[in-house]
Structures are given as C-alpha cells and as structure tokens.
Structure 1
Amino acid sequence: MQPWHSDNPALAQAFAPVFDERDDTDLQVDGELPAGLNGVFMRNGPNPQFEPVPGYAYPYDGTGMVHALHLDAGRARYRNRWVLTRELQEERLAGRRIYNPTFGPPPQANLANANVLRHAGRIYALYEGGCPYEMDGALATLGPETFQGRLTGACSAHPKVDPATGEMLAVNYDLIAGTLEYMRVNAHGQVDRQVQFASPWPALVHDIGLTATHVVAFVCPLVFDFSRGPAAPAWEPQRGTRVLLIPRDCADPAQIQWIEADPFFNWHIANAHADGAVIEAVMPWHDGYGPGARKRLELHRVRIDTASGRVQDQMLDDQPCEFGRVNDAWLGRRTRYCYVGLRDPRPGETPQPGAFEAFARYDLDTGAKTVFRLPAGQTACEPVFAADPPGAGEADGYILSFVHAANDPGGLFIVLDARDLAAGPVARVRLPRRVPAGLHGSWMPTPAYGADQPRR
C-alpha cells in the first residue's frame, strides 16, 4: 500500500490513515490485564487506502478498517484489516480512488466503516449507506450480508442487540425515497419483522433505543433536500423533532406512534427504558447541527409520556460529550451508569473534533460525575464496556479504548476499571503502530457454549 499525505484536517493528526495490515503478538502490557477478560475488542472507522478527492469529510468517508485487540490469559495481540467491499476491490484493481465523498456527486461507495458487532455468531461491519459486510474472527471479509435476501436497501449502522432475547433491531433509512424501515433479526439471524413507512422528511436516524416493548428513535430537523444539490442537509428547526415509537412486534405502519417535540439533534442514544407509560432515553444532545446551527452539545435525559404525548427534556451536564454507552447487558432496562467520551481540552491544545480528551461516568441516580482525563497530547474515542466475568452488577466491568498520542508512531490500548474510572488505566497495551481515531466498536468475549443465545 503506497502511503500518501493530505492537508485535509479530516485526514490529519488523529484521523491520518494507516497503510499497512498487521499481525502483532505478545504485545507489551504495562500494568496487568484483568483475569478472565478474554475475548476481542474490535473497532471500525474510516481509513481510505487511496487519496480522496477534495470534499472528504470525517466521519462520512473512507473505507472501513477494523482494528482488533485480542486478550487471552493476560496476553495481547493486534490485527487490522480493511473491509474488502466491492468498491474497494474495484479501486485496488484500478490502483486509484474511483468513488466520491458522501457529500459529492455520484458515484458513492458502501464504505462499511461505522460499526462492527457480533450477532447470532456472525461479525458484521456496518455502514448506513449500504448492506453490512460479514467478516470472520480473523477479519477476513466474507462478503455482503442481505439476510437471506430480505434486506434490499441500506441497513442501519447502529442496530442494537437485546441481551434478553438475542434479537437485533434496527431502523433503516432511505434519504432519496424519504422512507424508514423497521427491521428485526431474530436470535438465529433471520429477519422476522420488516415494516416500511414514510418519514416526515428525509432525515438520518443513526441510532435507536430499546425498551422491552418498543424501539425509540428521533427524527430530527436536519433535512436532506436533494433539490438543493447532492446530499445537501440543512438545519430546519421550525419543523421540530418527531419521536418515533415502534412496537417491537410491529407488523403494520398503523401501529407506529409519532410524538412532536422541540427541535434538537442526536447521533446516539446511550440507553432507553420504560417506566409504565413513560419512556426515558439518555443521550448526547445537540441544539442544532450543520453549518451555522450547531452551538451546544450536552448530556440530556428525554422523557416521553406515550399516553399524554408530552416530552420533557432535562439537561444532565453541559460539558460536551458523545458516544454514550452503557453495560450492554442492561440495554433496554433502567441503568444507573452511563459512559461517554468527554471534551476536556488541555490548556494550549487545539481540540480536534471527533476525538476526546477524557472519559466520564455519570451516575444517573445521584448526578455524580467521575472523569478520567488522558495525559497531554492523547485522545480517545468511544468508551466500550466489557463485563468483568466474576462480577454480576451493572458497574462490574472495564472501559476499553484505543488511544492516539500526538507525534508518536506507536499506539495504545487502555483498560479502565469502570468502578473506579478516575484511578486511570489498570493496563496499557503498547502497539508498535498507532491506531487512528475511529467510530464504533464492540467487546466480544470468547464464546462459551450458547454465548450468542438469549438469556431467556
């Protein structure tokens, strides 16, 4: 792979791509990896192999590269691979970039760059502009996944897997047609619910929340009107935000409930749960998005009364944050703790959008906030929770992340105790080459018998 350099800020510093596919074993560990924490942490993100044309914008562009950090009995090894999409294979044959950035003219590619997760024993690299790509445990690309031909358009990049039922649930969107699609994939990997319906306007729905009975999402007033040009979104707050409530067993669009709310924008929902007729969702919350619109980024609690149609919006913290996560074993249930990437720039440093200087844990019962701040020059991305095998409580586990250090050709992987976040890493794994900032990832414990089957 021929290295190249770009002055585009979206391809510099923490976002500068890497050009090699590696297999590194017996990595140096500072501290001690927790006993029993055996499995693989995988994280996806944009990593263009060929230099893009002007207009490249993070995080919307760049073919996906999955980075995997395997932990086994206190030892660590690293592997990374590009997701071999059809479009990347075409570009490799041509020896140059063929496909244009997302917000440019056609053609565009399925980048498979936003997320990586395991469901029903299979690993998927996900991108909401196309179908998932299946990968094996060694990160070899097995091919596109259409779920026995049931998926005919794009799939959400951020489905959620219910830990109680094993179901994978998603809301897919089509900006050209202005439609949404509810899709439920059962614990065995088969689509058993698929309902298409009109969106109030062409809008992206990146993430969803689960309850025992509903999927909740927000259609925000970032409007994609293609009469204005290729994929030109505009912030139109006069439309408000629409709360989308889909019964988990939905078979007809008439069963879907819409509730009007004041305008806001969200990328992610940390978690949701139901308390009687009220659904509560905790999320990083933007008061606007797009050129000239984005001002505040905060952590909020949104309470939706499904009986009265009232929506209450409560700010939990005004410090900018993103990538909210919880212990995935508690998805869809009431959670006490939420973990985020926190903007906490050090004096004299220029923050780089999309990377975080700290992690925070919020106690949603007491309001307490615990922060671990990375050393100067270091940034991280999404905090992924890995359960502590001997533990049984919601907080019993670890926060995992790759770390980028400015001006350092090497990389880091850190393990923080979720019960004592401020204490700093219990272990640092030193990588011989840095890992660029990226998007979403998953902790995949070494499968035991029935590990991918539902709990009940």
Structure 2
Amino acid sequence: MTSPFYLSGNLAPVPDEIEAHDLPVKGVLPDELTGRYFRNGPNPRPGDDPGHWFAGHGMLHGIRLDQGQARWYRNRWVRTRKFTDDARFIGDTGVDLGAVTANTSVIRHADRIYALVESGLPYEMTPELDTVGACDFRGRLTTAMTAHPKQDPITGELHFFGYGYTPPFCTYHRLSADGELVESHEIEVPKSTMMHDFAVTEHYLIWLDLPFVFDLSRAGGLPYSWERDYGARIGVTPRHDLGATQWFDVDPCYVFHVGNAWEDADGRIVLNAARYTGDTFSDLWTRISGSPDPAGSAAVIGGASLHRWTLDPVSGAAKEEALDDRSVEFPTFRDDLLGRASRYLYTVGRDSIVKYDQESGRAQVRPTGGDTGEAVFVPAEQGEDEGWLLSIVTTGDSSELLVLDATDLSDVASVRLPRRVPAGFHGTWLED
C-alpha cells in the first residue's frame, strides 16, 4: 500500500524522542551564536495517520549552541491535551481550545516560550523542551491564536489574531510587552477562511481574506475548500481605530506566509508575500491532504512565488505585481524591521536558499543539496543583512543545522544532527 504524501520521504515522522550531546561541528560557530535554535513541525506517533500533513502532533527539535560548541540536540513532542489524553477539539461540552497539535511555530515573548498552531491555544514550553501547559493568558484569550504573531520592535507588544468556525470568524488581540492580554476586537469577515498569516506596519494591521473557506462537507483531512466565488481581498485596519477596516479587492489567490509590510513615503502600504494561484494552491493542497506524490519525492516547496501588493488608502487602488517566478516559501527578514521598510528577504526553495534584494530586484541563490527548512535570520551588526541564517537541511537520512553568512550566503558552519529531522514548518532563535 502506498503511503500518503504526508507520511512519505522527508515528511515521514520519526518514531521517538532522543537526546545527544557534543555534536560534530564543521567550520567555526561564531561565539555570538549562544542560545537555542528550535524548530516545530507535525510528527504523528508511530502507527498514527492524521489524515493531513497539518494534523500531526507537534514536535520541537532543539539545538543548543554555546560559545562555538554544539552542546546538545533533543526532540520532544508537545504534550497537548490531544496528545496526552486524546482529547477532542469538539466534544460533548463544546470546543476545547487545548485539544490541538501545537505543531506550527515556536516563539518567545515576555520570557515565555510558546508552541503555536492556529486552531487553538498556545502551549508554554521550557528551554529544555518540556511542556508546561496550555496558556489562555489568565482566562482572557477565548479564541484560537495564530501561529504567526508579530512583535512590534518599538513597543515590544505582540499582535495576533484567531479565526474560528463560528462567529466571530476573526478576532484581533494584543499582548503587552510583559505578556498581558490587553485588547481584543472582532474583525468582521463574511465567512470562516483559513487565514494563516497577517502583517503589521507602523500604523496598520493587514488582513488576508482569501477564498479558502471552511466547508463541513469535506470528508476527512481538514474541512476547507477552494471557493473562487468568495473573492479575495486584503484588509487594512488602523491600529488606533479597530472599527475602520478598509478592504481592497485582489485577484483570487492564497498566501500562507507574508514577508514584510510597511508604509512608503506616499502613505501607501507595501506588502510582500509568497503567493499561490488557485491552481498551484489546489495542487499543493491535494498532495498534503493524502494523495501519493507522483515523483516519490515528498517535496513540499512548490507553487508559490514572491509577489507584492501596493495598497493606497486614499484612492482605494490596489496594485499587484510578481517580483519573481521561481517557487519559494517561508519568507524571513530581520525581525527588528517588522512593519518598517526593509531591503532584504530570505526564502527557501526545495534545495536552496534565495536572498532577494528588494531595491535592486536581484536574487541570489545558494544551493543546499537537500530539503531545506525555513532560514531564520539572526542579527550580528547594525547593517540590515549583517548576521547569520540558520536552516535545517536534510539529505537522505542525514540532517544538519546549516549556518550561513546572511550577507553573501557563504558557509560559516554546520552542525551534524544525530538523526533525520523531518520537514516541518517554522523555527526561532532564542539568544541566551
């Protein structure tokens, strides 16, 4: 029997939790890289078939770097109530926002580490990858929490949202710099759509209301379907007036991940993202929903390309333009430029890392020779691209943590990991 796409190749889960110390290093790890690299992704338990790649239990993979040494690797399942008790998301008593997989991303805010998935509550984790438990911010969070919150580099506040299957379909939330939930407000949309990501600029919140709509008629997998007639639009909400969202119609498309967004000198909003057409998105969704991969490669990257929207709040006009035609995903940039004009954007192809200079339009490609995970940018100096990129690269049954110079994508070092790390989603660097 042929395994479904999401249980094949480098998407195939690992069967257990392990730990290894004093990992082999090739090259020289900079002393400044002292901290932890964590990466989240779905990893069903042995014998489990979750029915969709997105539905596997969350597993964190962690590498501890310290003064030029790779001290340890360990991997741990996130012990959610779904994992430990087989709790149901929708049960006899209603929705259990803690019965989730916590399999998408991992962040740190107000000295707490959270594993995130967009369907429910965040799960707090320790620096050693032990699970503390679900967090609802002292009972104030009553919706799900996106896996892509945005921390304002000036105020330290954390902006996020949650979408649900019943009204309110989308709710905006704001955490203070010290981790208190201080504001929640409904953003009105007609239906529940899979709103995976959003953007924040200095003065606005940017929403992606796209035609991938909740559909209970979908049997198995995840209950969403492409509904072209729903239309596609981008919402712009002033951060000082949450009741005044302005909507811009755009061509039907889907976006999992935005790059950055900012306001230009004329007050227009510039948004960059990895954009799928309806056809390329449907092809990807079919594969990760269970059909066998005809190429036998279980490659996830494919179909999205770098795109830009320029939105004018005064005229109401929206300009759309393709910035490149190659297949890329997981755009990253220097986090302290969130919401402000930025020049460089890093993305990944299946076996490469691509650096975009958004001023010159130049793209620099660095082949990796294997399945390439999101490239996390770690700043070193004040220059926008002065720092390092961290990415887990897998070739066959071997994985390494690749460290590149972000200025020219040259090799700095690599850490050989004690096992294959399956393809996953998002990582983070937690400096000591």
Q: 1:238 to 1:293 in 2, by over 3 A?
A: farther
Of the candidates 74, 77, 80, which is equivalent to residue 75 of structure 2? 80
3-state SS of 2:402 partner: strand
Distance 1:249 1:19, change over 3 A: farther
Aligned residues: 407
Q: What CA distance in whole angstroms lies between the structure 2 residues aligned with 1:293 and 1:263? A: 16
Residue of structure 2 equivalent to 1:15: 11
More divergent stretch after superposition (21-30 vs 186-195): 21-30
User: C-alpha deviations, 1:185-241, integer Å up to 9, x for none?
Assistant: 110101111002331222011111111111112111112232566754332333321
Show the counterpart of 2:353. Answer: 359
In the TM superposition, structure 1's runs of 4+ consecutive aligned residues that sit over 4 Å from their partners are: 106-109, 227-231, 292-296
Which secondary structure does the structure 1 equivalent of 2:107 belong to? strand
The answer on whether the counterparts of 1:178 and 1:203 sit within 8 Å (CA) in structure 2 is no
Moved more, 320-329 or 259-268: 259-268
Task: For residues 66-90 of structure 1, give each alpha carbon's deviation from its aligned partner in whole angstroms, at most 9, with x where no partner exists.
Answer: 1111111000121211101011112
The equivalences for 1:22-421 within 5 A come to 22-53=18-49, 56-58=51-53, 60-76=54-70, 77-91=72-86, 109-177=99-167, 179-226=169-216, 231-250=222-241, 252=242, 254-275=243-264, 276-288=266-278, 291=282, 297-342=304-349, 356-375=350-369, 378-388=370-380, 391-406=381-396, 408=397, 410-421=398-409
Deviation of the 1:107 alpha carbon: 10
In the alignment, the residues of structure 2 paired with residue 178 and residue 319 of structure 1 have an alpha-carbon distance, to the nearest angstrom, of 37
Amino acid at match of 2:79: L
Cα distance between partner residues in 2 of 1:340 and 1:313: 20
Residue 45 of structure 1 aligns to a residue in which SS?
strand
Separation in 2, partners of 1:14, 1:43: 15
Residues 193, 249 of structure 1: 8 Å contact kept? no
Give the Cα separation in 2 of the matches to 1:291 and 1:379. Answer: 22
One-letter amino acid of the structure 1 residue matched with residue 402 of structure 2 = I
For 2:374, give the aligned amino acid.
E
Question: Structure 1 residues 197, 367: closer, same or farther in 2, change over 3 A?
Answer: closer
Aligned equivalents of 1:9, 1:222: Cα separation in 2: 21
* Superposition deviation, residue 396 in structure 1: 0.6
| Aligned mates of 1:305, 1:439 — CA distance in 2 | 32
Q: Give distance in 2, aligned partners of 1:418 and 1:301.
A: 23
Query: Which stretches in structure 1 are left out of the alignment for 5+ residues?
Result: 92-97, 101-105, 343-355, 447-456
Deviation at 1:303, TM superposition (A): 0.5
Between 1:130-139 and 1:106-115, the stretch displaced more is 106-115
Question: Matched residues in 2 for 1:296 and 1:399: separation?
Answer: 23
Moved more, 31-40 or 5-14: 5-14
SS in 1 for 2:278: coil
Distance 1:292 1:126, change over 3 A: closer
State the partner residue of 1:353.
none
CA shift for structure 1 position 9: 2.2
- Name the aligned partner's letter for residue 444 of structure 1: L
Instruction: Report if the CA contact (8 A) 2:310-2:319 is conserved.
Output: yes
- How far apart are 1:445 and its partner, in Å? 1.1
Q: Deviation of residue 157 (structure 1)?
A: 1.2
| CA apart distance, 1:431 | 1.2
Over 3 Å counting, the alpha-carbon distance change for 1:426 and 1:67 in structure 2 is same
Which residue is 1:453 aligned to? none
Offset, 1:299: 0.5
**Per-residue deviation at 1:292?**
6.2
Q: Distance in 2 between matches of 1:322 and 1:152?
A: 31
SS at match of 1:89: helix
Secondary structure of 1:87's aligned partner: helix
Which whole-Å CA distance do the structure 1 matches of 2:399 and 2:225 have between them? 38
Percent identity over paired residues: 38
Partners of 1:44 and 1:439 within 8 A in 2: yes
Q: Please state how far the C-alpha of 1:247 moved relative to its aligned partner.
A: 2.3
Deviation at 1:293, TM superposition (A): 9.3
CA contact (8 A) 1:288 1:296 kept: no
CA shift in 2, pair 1:177/1:264, >3 Å: same
Question: Shift of residue 358 of structure 1?
Answer: 0.6
Measure, in 2, the Cα distance between the counterparts of 1:52 and 1:146. Answer: 29
Q: 1:45 to 1:209 in 2, by over 3 A?
A: same
- Residues 8, 303 of structure 1: CA spacing in aligned structure 2 closer, same or farther, 3 A cutoff? same
Distance 1:293 1:418, change over 3 A: closer
Contact kept in structure 2, 1:44 and 1:116, CA below 8 Å? yes
Letter aligned with residue 244 of structure 1: G
- Distance, in Å, in 2 between the alignment partners of 1:202 and 1:99 is 20
Q: Is the 1:399–1:418 contact (alpha carbons within 8 Å) kept by the matching residues of 2?
A: yes
State the SS of the aligned residue for 1:270.
strand
1:313 corresponds to which letter in structure 2? E
